[in-house]
Amino acid sequence: MSRSSILKAYTFSYKNTSLEDRDALAFSSENVATFVARVRDELDGEGAVISTCNRTEFYVFGPRANAGWEQVRALVADIKGMRVSQIPQPHGLSGNDAATHIFRVAASLESLALGENQILGQVKDAHEILLGQPVKTPALDRLFQYAVRCGKEVRTETSLCEGTVSISSVAVQLAEKIFGNFAKRQILFIGAGDTAEKAAIHFQEAGAKNFVVVNRSEGKGRAFAHQLGGSYRPLEDIPEACIDADIVLVATGSQDYLVTKKMFKKVMKKRHRRSIFLIDISNPRNIDPAVGDMSGVYLYNMDNLQRVVADNLDARRQEIPAAEKIVAHFVSEWDNWLQSLQVTPTIATLAKYFDAVREQELDRHGGSVDDDDRVMLEEFSKGLIKKLLHHPIMYLRSSVQNNSLTAEDLRVVRSLYNLEDFDDGSE
């Protein structure tokens, strides 16, 4: 691995790229395999990709001259069957800035929903795809290892990812506090749109199995009910459907109340005042707020839920400094690891530098001695150099073994003896 190698990141996310362009740049696992192989063959480097609904990011580790955006852009365009001009400009980062970015991604500091947990699994998946390629990528493998570890540590050592920050997940969480286990509870959905579908996923993840769907459109309602393994009822059956339900989630586009106080008085009477949890995430509201004043009725609307979301989001924001401190630690780990790779060439250059100085001085002062004395001076000077270098070399090697070598250690050694200029002059 050359000392001229550098880490580059070219990122397209919700922050800088339209949804249309993100869709066009989405990479399948086959696309990733092609990218990794071609970065090796054509750019003499290592390549990796993170591709999710909110971001596609290209990571390249290789020679500076080969890791530029124009080279990577041409590869991406060819792999996706696009013209180069169709590829938008990315947010580009290099060196430790690129490492910082991927660690922030894994920590969910770059997510649309701060602190969401899905991204860590997606980074793990990207790493698994990378490991599954026949092409060896030791540097990026290590980078992704650090990224996953960083994401895990942020989640265990801070509260950044605690508390839900989506309306549907907050609604389910509140219902869970009241009813506990959902396994024996009946969930009634009034509405079959995207919001209801997202809430249904959260209910299923929490153990719910018994679903009823009421919807104005029978076709869409039956399809949603089938998807949930539940049953369908027409819109006029709302009162009857509420009698057996434990939890009712209303999410429709209706401009009127679908659940009124007059209706619910009859419902509660037939339920024998058994408690019911109502969630109205419609805009405008579809449940008459007066229903919430009735005994045994727990009614939450968008305002209630948004306050919980806002509180949770504020709590997450308070954890950003602690999470960023963990990110900084792993950037240092990555940088030190990279520097440790340079120990062997640094030691070799150091030895070469000392030997060049030794020979230069012998040539300058050794002309006045006979051959026997010259041999003696050669042996003496070599032994002296060996003793002078013994401790620095042993220090560097032992520091690698006990993982205590820092980037600064190598910078000091190389600067102290001006090894960068010596390398340049000896090539």
Question: How many CB atoms sit inside 10 A of residue 95's CB?
Answer: 14
66 is in an annotated binding site: no
Among the listed residues 52, 4, 54, 3, the one whose alpha carbon sits nearest the alpha carbon of residue 32: 52
195 is in an annotated binding site: yes
122 is in an annotated binding site: yes
191 is in an annotated binding site: yes
> What residues does 59 pair with on adjacent strands?
9, 48
355 is in an annotated binding site: no
β-strands 186-190, 247-250 pairing: parallel
196 is in an annotated binding site: yes
- 53, 150, 161, 242: the catalytic one is 53
118 is in an annotated binding site: yes
219 is in an annotated binding site: no
Phi then psi for residue 301, to 5 deg, are -115, -175
Burial class (CB within 10 angstroms; exposed 0-12, middle 13-18, buried 19+) of 152: middle
52 is in an annotated binding site: yes
What is the SS3 assignment for 371? helix
314 is in an annotated binding site: no
Phi then psi for residue 288, to 5 deg, are -60, 120
> What residues does 301 pair with on adjacent strands?
280
β-strands 55-63, 247-250 pairing: unpaired
**Is 161 marked active-site?**
no
Half-sphere exposure of 103 (CA within 13 A, CB side): 27
Q: Which element (helix H / strand E) includes 271? A: none
Buried b (16+ CB within 10 A) or exposed e, 334-365: bbbbbbbbbbeebbebbeebbeeebeeeeeee
55 is in an annotated binding site: yes
Angle between helices 138-157 and 118-131 (to 10 degrees): 160
403 is in an annotated binding site: no
53 is in an annotated binding site: yes
Q: Which element (helix H / strand E) includes 59? A: strand 55-63
Going by the annotation, the residues of the binding site are: 52-55, 111, 116-118, 122, 191-196
Going by the annotation, the residues of the binding site for NADP(+) are: 191-196
Catalytic residue ranges: 53
Going by the annotation, the residues of the binding site for substrate are: 52-55, 111, 116-118, 122
